[in-house]
């Protein structure tokens, strides 16, 4: 079995929400956008922000 957290929750099938890299301005902006989308209950947009944070080019896939 691989070490570390599972990439997908085996019960719900969901991935854990990515954390922005501390000190990165782009990550901070993406996290703020995700928070606004959560406030507006726009779950599709929340997912989009999660993908953008995960695929942030300067940090690789998180």
Q: Would you state the pLDDT for residue 1?
A: 44
Q: Give dist(CA 50, CA 62) in Å, integer.
A: 10
Determine, yes or no, domain membership for 45. Answer: yes
Q: Give dist(CA 55, CA 58) in Å, integer.
A: 9
Q: Give dist(CA 29, CA 7) in Å, integer.
A: 24
- The 10s digit of each residue's pLDDT in 7-62 is 666 666 677 889 998 889 999 999 999 999 999 999 999 999 999 998 887 665 55
Determine, yes or no, domain membership for 10. Answer: no
Determine, yes or no, domain membership for 4. Answer: no
Determine, yes or no, domain membership for 24. Answer: yes
> What's the structural domain count of the chain?
1
Determine, yes or no, domain membership for 56. Answer: yes
Determine, yes or no, domain membership for 14. Answer: no
Residue ranges making up the domain that contains 53 = 20-62
């Amino acid at each position: 079995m691989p070490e570390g957290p599972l990439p997908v929750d085996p019960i719900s099938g969901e991935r854990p929400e990515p954390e922005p890299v501390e000190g990165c301005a782009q990550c901070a902006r993406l996290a703020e956008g995700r928070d606004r989308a959560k406030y507006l209950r726009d779950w599709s947009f929340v997912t989009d922000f999660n993908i953008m944070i995960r695929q942030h080019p300067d940090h690789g896939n998180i």
